[in-house]
Structure formats: C-alpha cells, structure tokens
Structure 1
Amino acid sequence: MVKRKAEKQQAAAPMSAVAARKARQQQAQNQTPKNDADVEIVTEPPSKKPRRSVEAIEAKDNTSGPETRGPRTRSSKKQDAAVSTETAKGHQRRTTRSKKLESPQPDPQSQDESEKEESNKHQVDGPEDMTEDEVASVAGEADGYESPADTSTEIQNFPLSKVRLGKSNIVYTDESNLCVSIKEKMNMALLGQYDLWVKRGVISLMGAKLHPSKKSYRVYAPSTHSLPVIKCVAGVDGEAEVELKSCNNGLARLRDISPLYQKIWNGQNSAADKVTLKGAAKDSRRSYSVLYTSADDPLKRHLRPLHLDKKWSASMKALSQRQGSLRVLVCGPKASGKSTFSRYLLNHVLSPAPETENGYINTDGVAFLDLDPGQPEFAPMGQVYLAHLKAPFFGPPFTHPSLDGSRDGQIVRAHYIGATSPKEDPDHYATATMDLLEQYRSLLARYPQCPLIVNYPGWIFGQGLEVATWLVGCLGLSDVVYMSEKGPYEVVEPLSLAANKARVPMTILPSQPTEFVSRSSAQLRSMQIQSYFHQSHPAALGNPLWSDTPLSRTRPIAVKYAGEKQGIAGIMVMGSQINPEMIREVIEGAIVAVVEVNSPDALWGVSSSAQRQSGSDDHDDFEEDGDVEMDSDQPIEQTASSTEDLGVRSPENLPYLFAGSGSCTPLDPKTSNCLGLALVRSVNVGSQNLELSTPIISSRISDALEQGRSIVLVRGPLDNPNWAISEEYHAARAAERRYQQLVSRSKKNGDDQAENQATQKHTLSLLRERIRRASNVPWMTVVEDHSRQQREAAARREKSLWKLRKKAYPGSESETDW
C-alpha cells in the first residue's frame, strides 16, 4: 500500500511542458490505430444525411438538367466530359422524380484494390467505356420501381457453361466459325452476336427447340439481359452438333453514337476463345465469346445465365399442346417476367419441329397481340399492335425494334397510344384493343390454326383490372397466366372469377425477375427507339442492318404541309391543349407517329365540326390521290386536299387538327393504322415543307397515298429524343479516338516521320473542331470535369446496377423483391 501511494505521488509530480507534450504525443501515437478503428467500425453512428440517387445529385449540380457523362474532349486518356440533353419540360419532370428516388451512396471502401484498378483501367481505355453518369442520363424517366444501387460487393462468379472446349468437342474452328459438339443435358452460354446452325441433334434456345435444318438463326446476347443458354436436348450418339458464325450487322457500332450501347457486347477474347483461335492471327476476334463463368468476362460485368423456373417450363409445354386452339393472356405485376415468359412461349410454339407425336406442324404462324405500350416487343414505345410471326426471335426488343420487310413476321395493324402507360387515355386504349381483336378474327380467316399470345402490361389495378377482366370474357381465351404467386388477393380474385365465368383455366406462376440490371426501363426504351431509327431491312438479306451515321448527317424526307399538293392531312397533339401558335415549337425536334387514315370518320370530332362549318356531308374532298416521290430532293405531295376545313392553321400555315377547346381527340382505331414513327427535323416555313427522318419503307407511304388515304402526324406525350441530339457529339468523339489509335499504332511501327506529323496535327485539329461544333447545339451542354475525385467517382459508380423492385399494389409489401 505504501509503495502504490508513492507511485501515485511520483506520477503526479510536476514535469516540464516539453516533457508533458512528448508524453501526450507518445500516448496518442500508441492508442490512435485502435481507437480509430473502433470509432470507424463500431461506435460511429450511421450518417443522417438523406440518400440520393445519382440523378438527384446531378440535378442539384446542374440546374439546367441532368448531365450525361460523355467521352473526354481533348485527350481520351486524361479528360472527362458531360453532355446534357434535356429540355426544360423534361428537366422539370426528372427533377420531380429524382426527389422520390432514393439509393444508397457508394462506399469508397467497399471495393478492394483489384476492383479499383480494373475500374480505373476501363476508364482510361477510351470513350468506348461508359461511366455511370452516362448510364444515369435518363434515370429521371425510370418509374418508381427502379433505383440505382452500388452492388460491387454483391457481384458473384456465376457458372455459365457446363461445356469445356477442347480437342474432344471442337469439330472445326477458324477466325469466324466455331463448330462444337454438345453432349446431352450439357449447355453453353455465349456473349455477343452470332448465327447459329444446328447440324445434328436437337438443342433448346430461349424457349425454342431447334432441329437440324438448312436455316441458321441470328442470336443476340448482350450483357443488358441474362445470357441465353444453348442446351442439348437430344443428340445422335448422345451429342448435338452446332456451328457458330460471326456476324457484322452494324448493331455493335451504335456505341459510337450512344453511351447506352457501350460495353454490352463481347470484349477481349476469353479463355475459351484463345483455345479455339489457336493458329489464327494475333488480332483475330469474333463477334461472340464463349464464357465458362462470369469471371471470364474481361470487363467484369454482372452476367447471369437465363434458366427458367421448372413451373415455367411445364406451363409452356402444356400450353403448346393446345396447338392451333391456343389463346393465352399473360398478365401480372410490374417486373414479374411477363415479357420474358411471352417471348419464350412464342419461341416454343414457333419451334420448327419436323413432326410432333400427333403429327401437328405449325404452318400458320403465331399471332402476337402486344398491349404493353411501355415495353413493346416488336415495335417502338407508345404503340399497341398485332403481329403475325412465322419464326422464333432470339434477342431483346432493341434487336428487333420493327418488322418492316422482315421475312419472319409482319405487323398486321398498330395503333399509336402516344404514352408508355395505358392509364393516360384508358378509353382510347380499350378502343384500340377492340380493333386489334377484330383484326385477329380477320387473320383467322386466312390462318385458321394461328394461336394467339396476348402480352398485357403491368397495369392491373383500377381500370387496368377492369380491362383485363373484360379481355378474359370477350377474347375467347383458352388460358390465363398470372405471373405472381404472391397475389395480391384483390387482383387475383376478380381475374379468377372472370376466368371461371368464361370457363377458362387460370395458371398462377412464380415471378422470375432479374434482380439487378445494367439498364433501367427508360434506358432500354431509348435504346430500342434509337435502334429503330438506325435499322434497315435490305430486301436481299434475311437479317436487318444498322447504320451508325448520326441522324443529323442523313438526308431527310421533305413533306409538303400546305399548298395545292400537300403530303399530310394534318398534325395532332395528344394529351395536351396546345395553342395553334405553339404547334411549331411542339413538333419541331419531336418524334411523331405517321398514321394512315382511310376515312374522315377517323377524326371523330374534327370531321363533324368541319362538316358543320362547311354545311356539307360530302367526304369526297378528304380523299387524296396523287403522285408521291420519296426522293429526299423532291417533297412528298398529294393532290385535291381540303384539310383547311379540318382544323386551324398556325402562323406557319401548319394544319393543326383539334376538337373542342383545343385538345385533340385520338384517331378512331377502326379507320386508322400507325405506319411507324418519324423525327421532325425542322419546319421550313419558306418552302412549307416538313423535314422528316424515318425508317418507314417509302413504298408503304406511297401506297397509302395512292390508295386515297390520308397521312396524319400525331405527337404524343413521349420522352423527347435526347439521344438524337447528342449523336453527332458522340460520333465526333469516336472519330477522334479512332484516329488517335491509328497514330499510336503508326508510332509503334516506326512510321512516325517528320512529314506525317504536320498532317496528323492538322487532322486532329479538324476532328476537335468537329467536336466543338457538335457540342454547341441547343438543349445540350458539355461540362468538363478533370478532377481526380470525379474520375474516381465515375469509375466507382461504373459497377452500379439498377435494382428492380415491384409491388403488387401501391402501399403493399407483399410483392416486393429486393
């Protein structure tokens, strides 16, 4: 006790200020690591700062609209650029929605060092690599069921292929082709684009069973969707033999005009590719890559194989046994897998089997009634349509955005809703659906054994449920498929009662959504409509082609909108009351539907008001017939038109069709048909021409006018074509990148001579001048950010994915999928 008391007194003895400071420093140095760790990991309370989405952060930083991060403007290895392509109306809508979306902030310490190095490496690679800001450029258009999330810690190594390529199963191989044998119950997954030819045995692919034939099938397997799996179902001596061939259709080059198309196809050769390309040139690359696991992907993306639930497979098999009497309605909540099930069922019914057990062969094709205007399968957004298909399709919707000129199918009839949801105008939606049902009945007169698949949207509450139950009662269905085992009860019960009343069996299947995706629904819609405008169907080829030329560099079609020979009967605007003086601002730079009208009754209130003004019931003056020339140098014209009586004229003399107080009544679906979409490039007041860019085959418009039908342009409340505004900028950046790579290769080869340096410098200055001009356009702002913090944040967010959530009904957690 005495000793301890002495020690305490000695410790309390006075010391100099220097000695005291050294003692404190020594004590702090010994205790800091442990205390810091404790505070950081255990004792520090969670941050109370509200979590915001990437879109919300961008909206705050740039009051003129969200930013789209683009390629670097001066040197693709050192700088970042941002492109904003948002109008004032779109910005207000995005800003409002961004306040509702919440997402966790990415934690810089959640990535290990290897992931950071990989992210930085991808960012330095050039404009071909997309930053998360580019992915989030249209985040404001996503619905409330999606939000961006940092999922770097959740990305796992998933097995993709059971087949391991080697001498035992490689039949032959070269720089383009790869022929392999697959044993029964074995599968193989590929990333990219390829032509598939079944030489021996039977394989399954995206719901279809493919038998040996002379026909090859084009397969699109981007990283935006789960990868399709090639599986051997039956084989000769227990093996099937398939040939894979590279294809070059231009779709991959769309990455040069849109960041949404970047990093979605195969990158560098995988381990399996190196085995099959032995003996080929060093720089040999196919348009596809065989992957054993998701870790084989050089870009380390979130890849998953697409395996169907056993109940899905059993249901498809049972439904296909109904053969020509199949009439099935597929419905369910949002993000439950309705489109995937419909696509796989379609392929399954269209499987070109030589003969089934009962001798039935499907020669009449399949009718596909797509009632989902937000995510249509074979048409751009905003439409409902009836398609007659004769062959399976392998790929997501943006790989077949239209069927014009396709040998595998055609659009029988389409109606422009003008919105991504039927709830904008339920009456018009129901009327359009009734007309499509009449078209299907007419189709049955020519193809009596043509099954029907109806894809219904996720609009299953309120009026949507009423329309669904009405369809069950009037379609003459054979089956109803509901894509959710979790209800809700208030939806399932009315559907079950309607099915029982119509004596139609109802099947309830588990929803099978993809939890994480690399593109939101709005981004996929932008990709689909951009693909639509850049696609063509050459008559001599069985597969479509795509062009990476920006729309601003293509020759528009000139259409007369006034005068003695005008090419359009009028212009309509759906969903809003527009002053005639503002009609030019509304349609210029907007996407419109090109609708053919075969009767003045299609204009409903417009035609009746015109009759009252003219005092005549004669409709002959509405019919037009004249010569039509689709050459871009000659405007489209038609004769004998009195459309001045069908509405009002704007100050630019534009024929604005309206009814009542200024709102446009939708066209009558019974006497109208949507031919496709067009982009209004400009309104030339001097020549009274509309300059349009459209992928519609010119003969369709010519035939419509020659048959006395009228052409009406309809503007709906769809998203503005921001992708079209920034195409030239991204194309200019891609041209600069390609030239810099060419100069770099010439230096490595020793071709960097003094006389070439001046030429190279001049060419680079011209390319950068093109970039400068492309960045100086309306509704787009290029913002450069050279900071290291911004580059690291972009690389960190590059791994972010969209996390899908679905609710069975507002306020319910019974159908939430995290």
Structure 2
Amino acid sequence: MLSAVALRQRKSAASSVAHSFSPSRPTEDTENSGGVPGDFENTTNVFSPHLDVNVFRLRAFEASKFFLSTDQSNVILVIQPSEALPMIGVVDITLLAGSISVLGVELSSTRVSHTVFAPRSHPTPYIVGLMPKSSPTVLAHDIPQRVRDNAPSGAAIILLQQSKTGVESLGHICRAFDGLFGDVKSAGSWGVPGFYAAVDGLPPGSRPFVLPESWQVALDSVQSLPSHLEIDIPFLGLVYGAKGAGKSTFSRTLLNKLLSTHPKVAFLECDIGQSEFTPGGLVSLHVLDRPVFGPSFTHIRPPFRAHFIGSPTPRSSPSYYLSCITALVNTYRLEVQYSAFAEDGTVRSVPLVINTQGWVKGLGADLLSKIEEIAAPTHMYSFQPPESQHDTDPISQPITFSIHPRSSSTIFTLSSIGPQLTSIKYSPSDLRGLSLMSYFHSTYTALSSTSWSTSVPLNARPPWEIDCSVALDSIILSGPGGEDVVSEELAPALNVGLVGLVQMIESVPSVGQREPQPLQPHSFSFPYTQGTPPPSPEISECVGIGLIRSVSETSATLHLVTPVSGDVLSRCRVLVKGEMELPIWGMLDYWADEDAKDLCGVEWGKVPYLQWGGGGSGVGSAKRRTRKNVMRRGQM
C-alpha cells in the first residue's frame, strides 16, 4: 500500500519529466477555433510529417516482409519523444520499436497490432512518443533500412495499416452519427484509408483527450503494487461516482493500464445504462487479454458471463440487480480469479475492475453500498461531485486518498472531468441506441475483434423462426407492468420487442444420457405464465439479445433477429422481455430514399408501431411507469 509520501514523490517525479505534450495539463478550448490543441506543458510539439524523413510509404517488397498487401496503403512513422500525433478515424497500429502512449496507456515495442477507434463524437486521441524506460530497442531486421537510417535514438517506429472493420458504416444507420469517422478534411492521411492525422488542427467541435492529474497519479500507482498482492490478494478496483463524471473512461483506462502488467484482466460492468462491452440492460463479466482503444460501441463482444436486467436502470428491480451482481462476483472468484499463468508457468491472479452506475442518491447510494460489500474491493476510486469543482481546475486538481475505515481498502478521490472526456454533443440515449445498433450489426463471433456489416437493414435480414411450443420452456415479461399481461395479450406485448436470450445451467449426469421423452401432441401455445419472475442468476446466464420481428398467435411462432450464432441460440430455452425498446434507427429502411413515402412498401400512415407527428391521445396512450420501491422525489 502506498503512503502519502510515496504518492507525492511519484507525482513530483511524473511532473519533472519534460514533455512537450502532456495529458496531465489543461488545453485551450478548440471548439470554435478548430486549431491545434492548446498549451501542453507550455509548448506544443505536434508531429510534423515529412515524406521519407519521418513518414515512409512501404514499397511492395518491404510490405511483403510484414505479410501485408502491396497496395501501398501501409505507412511507417518515426515519432520522437515529446511529439504528439492527433488522429481521427480508424487505423491498425503496430509498434515496431520504442515506446508510445495512446489514450493514457503506455505501449512498448511488440508485433501485436492494436485497432484504434477515434470517432468525432468523442475527444481526439493522440499517439505520443515516450522516452524508452529500458535500453534502446534493437530494430528488427525486417524494418526497412531507409527507416533505420532516419530513426533517431529512442524514437518510436510505428506501422499504420488500414482497418477494415466496417464500423464507419454505422453512421448510415444512425443518421445522427453520420460522418463519424470518414467525413473529415485534414492533411496528413498519407494514403491510409480511414485515417486522418489532424496535424493542422482539430476539426471544429473536437477536443483532445486529456487525463486529469489525479487520474494519472492513480493509474501510475497501479504499477507500484507490492508483489504479494499479485498472487495472494488480487487487485479489485471499484469505480463509483455521479453520472457524467468520467467513470467509464477511467474504468477503461484502468483496465488497459492493468493489462500492461498482467496477462488477463477481468471487467465487471454494473452500469446497465452505459455498458462498456455489451448493449445496455445487462450486468456482465468480461475477461480481456488485450487493451481496447475507443468508445464502448467500437468493442462490443460476448461476455464471459452475463445476466439480463432489461432496463437502463435498476430502479424497478433493485433486488434482482444485486443478485445478478452477486452471481457474477462469485463466478469471478470461482472461475477467473486465479486463471492466469506467467511465462514461467506460475499461477497469477487476474485483477478485477468494477464499473458502477451513476445513481448515487437514495436507493442508488444503497445499491452502491451493497455492491461494495459484495465485491470487497482492495482499491476504490471515488469521483468528486461536479458541483464541488466550480472554483477549481479539474485537470490539474491534485489527488487525495484515504483508507476505508471498515474494509481497509485504499480510496482515491478523483476529479470529475465532465464532457471533456465523455461524448461531446450526444445524449446518453443517443449513445445507448448507437451501442444497440452496433451490437445487432456486428459479427459477434470473435472475442478479440469485431467487425460490422450494414449491407442489410434489420427489417430485411433473414430471421430465425422459432416454434415457441417446442423450442422454448418459458417466456417471461419483466419490468413495469409486465406482471399484468395476460396470455391473450402476449403476442402484441412481444412484437418488435427486445428480449434476453437466457440459457439455463442444468445438472446433467452425462452428455446424451437423458431419458427420452414421450411425444406430445403439438399444442401451438406459448409457454407463458403470467407473473413469472426472471430466472435465478445462480442457474442461468444471458448469452445475448434478440429482436422479435413478428409473432404468429395461430402457430405460436416468432421471427427473431440476433447476432448470436445458431448453436448458441439453440441452447437458449427462455426469453425474457424487459422495458428496453428498439431505437427508431433499427425500424427504418436505410436502403430507401430519404424522401420515400413508405417503409418496405407500406405507407407511413399504416406502418405498425411507428407514429409520426406527435404522440397519441386518450387514457393508456402514454408509457406506463411504475415503481417497486418507495423514494422521495429528491432521490429519483
């Protein structure tokens, strides 16, 4: 455990390093000027590109040594310490020599490629050259000789490649995010499609990614943990604070920081409104072995284990929310906590980062307290309320820390950053919708990477046809009003609904040894019982989310669209519908012309579930809101 003196010494040592660019200093507001970010450490040393000096387009025979295509879209950069390269777009970077920092995370020379997502909706990341901490890197023989001759001692050599993920096409679906990656006119693209180096200034409305000083010191302290903590007492970091404070950004940066010293890191997502690796409505446990560079919608991936809440807030089902978190913490302790191995074969602990929801008053405060009891964290990262920082600079505010009086965990008090590190002009609802559409259009098959395909809208994608009377054991409606739906009203309640695909964890003696069941006459009925509670998280898990595109009452069948593979879907015999709804972007046909007067051949006035020109009227036209707990108005 670090003392206050050690923290002050670390802070002083960090501030004494002379960098022209530092993520620990405030910047001038570039929202209106669109110019180069302001004064980083009193000087600005933005990377200045010069062809065949520090920018090299790979020739065909040079690219073949890296097993790359020979279309001359691959570029090598030589970035010296203290130089910073602002980037917009999507690009694969491979650090061949030296050290760099990306989004607050230091990377050392390796042949592992990282995809960096830098959309205009979020602050602009920088590739910052760092002075190598160890002896100079010996350049590999396959780095072109002309690059070696122009690389000063200690410089970072970076390979840039085109990233063909298809993520930029999400803007064609979610029109509010159109041009998120590609419509930027800036010099310095150097022939790498989809990548723009904003060396002549950030586009209007963009801001640089800046880490507050308190964040930097807290992140640096992770690398100074005593060695016995890595084996006997795993690192458990709990991040909490009000919404909009930067919790998700800090949690992601903390995850990446831990991955620089640990082969695997676990991530427990308790924020069901702004989830990091899944769409909203899920509490999930993830195990990662590579850092992620980009906002949440760019790294949607299958969880190690997850449970479906079906709402962006735990307000309507706080007890079930806590039981799901308890089950995931138990899963971490039993299956993940000591599952890593060092190069010498010894067992290493897997650190855990816990990101919490931003509800910190009333019932929300009680939930945070319960999560703390369940997880028993070794480190806690508390964000100051934004209203307490009116007279102080959140970027340069010093860090404070204390010892928890009951659990003896170290508490770091961090400054809230507000919109400087979170999305600039989009609401949480917009980002939830973008994350959901990213999920439905992703391949969702690989744990290490994700690609997107938007060639077919959801209303034209071939769905799975499910015979509910045969393929399902139960259909459950949760959320406000779900317990009041009778069997006769089930079909309209399910239509165009988002459902959790739940797999029950059964105890089977051995594979293939079940007793054969006698054939039953086909009843063509839904397996639905009014008021059934959600399945216990101890005996179930959610493997994904599906969209019910249509329901047939006569044959008890439904059409389901989901990125989950068929073999995984076949194991899901329970559907749970919550209060989450498909955003309007998922209901429209982006193939059609903007001036089209119909949707898939149906006039706008006759399109079901869509209403234009204002809401309905009369009793029951508004969405029903219920509460299963008692709270004062100030606690909402």
Q: Identify the TM-score tier after normalising by the shorter chain.
A: 0.7 to 0.9
Structure 1 residue 485: deviation in Å? 6.1
Q: Which residue of 2 aligns with 1:572?
A: 477
Return the match for 1:333 from 231, 242, 247.
242
The 5 A counterparts of 1:529-568 are 529-537=436-444, 542-562=449-469, 565-568=470-473
Report how many residues are paired: 518
Aligned CA distance change for structure 1 residues 320 and 473 (closer, same or farther; 3 Å):
farther
Structure 1 residue 256: deviation in Å? 2.7
Q: Which residue of 2 aligns with 1:189?
A: 86
Deviations 1:452-499 (A, max 9, x none): 11101111122222232233344232111101166879xxxxxx9992
Q: Is 1:294–1:302's contact at 8 Å kept on the other side of the alignment?
A: no
Q: Which residue of 1 aligns with 2:574?
A: 712
C-alpha distance in 2, partners of 1:307/1:641? 65
Deviations 1:501-544 (A, max 9, x none): 11112110101121572211100100000010010045699543
Q: Which residue of 2 aligns with 1:455?
A: 355
The reply to whether residue 414 of structure 1 matches residue 306 of structure 2 is: yes
Q: Which residue of 2 aligns with 1:386?
A: 285
Structure 1 residue 234: deviation in Å? 2.4
Segments of 5+ residues of structure 1 without an aligned counterpart are: 1-151, 278-284, 352-360, 404-410, 490-495, 601-618, 627-637, 705-709, 737-766, 784-808, 813-818
Q: Which residue of 2 aligns with 1:251?
A: 167
SS at match of 2:592: helix
Aligned CA distance change for structure 1 residues 510 and 541 (closer, same or farther; 3 Å):
closer
Structure 1 residue 180: deviation in Å? 1.2
Runs of 4 or more off by more than 4 Å in structure 1? 485-489, 537-543, 623-626, 638-644, 767-776, 809-812
Q: Is 2:498–2:582's contact at 8 Å kept on the other side of the alignment?
A: yes
Q: Is 2:322–2:371's contact at 8 Å kept on the other side of the alignment?
A: no
Return the match for 1:701 from 569, 580, 586.
569
Q: Which residue of 1 aligns with 2:616?
A: none
Q: Which residue of 2 aligns with 1:475?
A: 375
| TM-score, normalisation: structure 2 | 0.74
| TM-score, normalisation: structure 1 | 0.58
SS at match of 2:567: helix
Return the match for 1:165 from 27, 34, 49.
49
Segments of 5+ residues of structure 2 without an aligned counterpart are: 1-28, 38-44, 59-70, 137-152, 341-347, 390-400, 614-631
SS at match of 2:110: coil
Q: Which residue of 2 aligns with 1:71?
A: none
C-alpha distance in 2, partners of 1:417/1:642? 33
Structure 1 residue 688: deviation in Å? 2.8
Structure 1 residue 175: deviation in Å? 5.2
Aligned CA distance change for structure 1 residues 642 and 336 (closer, same or farther; 3 Å):
farther
C-alpha distance in 2, partners of 1:540/1:385? 14
The 5 A counterparts of 1:234-273 are 234-235=131-132, 237-273=153-189
Q: Identify the structure with the greater helix proportion.
A: 1
C-alpha distance in 1, partners of 2:76/2:518? 61
- Once structures 1 and 2 are overlaid, which stretch shifts more, 243-252 or 372-381? 243-252
The reply to whether residue 656 of structure 1 matches residue 528 of structure 2 is: yes
Structure 1 residue 641: deviation in Å? 9.7
Aligned CA distance change for structure 1 residues 572 and 598 (closer, same or farther; 3 Å):
farther
Q: Which residue of 2 aligns with 1:316?
A: 219
The reply to whether residue 527 of structure 1 matches residue 434 of structure 2 is: yes
Structure 1 residue 177: deviation in Å? 2.1
Aligned CA distance change for structure 1 residues 811 and 459 (closer, same or farther; 3 Å):
closer
C-alpha distance in 2, partners of 1:677/1:656? 19
Structure 1 residue 268: deviation in Å? 5.0
Between the two structures, name the one with larger relative contact order (CA 8 Å, sep ≥ 6): 1
Q: Is 2:444–2:563's contact at 8 Å kept on the other side of the alignment?
A: no
Deviations 1:104-140 (A, max 9, x none): xxxxxxxxxxxxxxxxxxxxxxxxxxxxxxxxxxxxx
SS at match of 1:595: strand
Q: Give the fraction of aligned pairs with identical amino acids, expressed as a percent.
A: 25
The residue type equivalent to 2:525 in the other structure is N
SS at match of 1:464: helix
Q: Is 1:472–1:498's contact at 8 Å kept on the other side of the alignment?
A: no
Q: Which residue of 2 aligns with 1:690?
A: 558
Structure 1 residue 568: deviation in Å? 4.2
Aligned CA distance change for structure 1 residues 362 and 696 (closer, same or farther; 3 Å):
same
The reply to whether residue 444 of structure 1 matches residue 351 of structure 2 is: no
The reply to whether residue 426 of structure 1 matches residue 318 of structure 2 is: yes
Deviations 1:338-371 (A, max 9, x none): 00000011111112xxxxxxxxx522x1110110
SS at match of 2:538: helix
Structure 1 residue 186: deviation in Å? 1.4
User: CA-atom RMSD, angstroms?
Assistant: 3.5
The residue type equivalent to 1:321 in the other structure is S
Aligned CA distance change for structure 1 residues 469 and 535 (closer, same or farther; 3 Å):
same
Q: Is 1:473–1:498's contact at 8 Å kept on the other side of the alignment?
A: no
The residue type equivalent to 1:439 in the other structure is T
Deviations 1:600-658 (A, max 9, x none): 9xxxxxxxxxxxxxxxxxx99xx9979xxxxxxxxxxx9779999xxxx9xx7222233
The reply to whether residue 678 of structure 1 matches residue 546 of structure 2 is: yes
SS at match of 2:491: helix
Aligned CA distance change for structure 1 residues 540 and 527 (closer, same or farther; 3 Å):
closer
The 5 A counterparts of 1:37-48 are none
Q: Is 2:80–2:129's contact at 8 Å kept on the other side of the alignment?
A: yes
Structure 1 residue 557: deviation in Å? 0.4
Q: Which residue of 1 aligns with 2:395?
A: none
Q: Is 2:548–2:558's contact at 8 Å kept on the other side of the alignment?
A: yes
Structure 1 residue 258: deviation in Å? 2.7
The residue type equivalent to 2:33 in the other structure is Q
Aligned CA distance change for structure 1 residues 781 and 422 (closer, same or farther; 3 Å):
closer
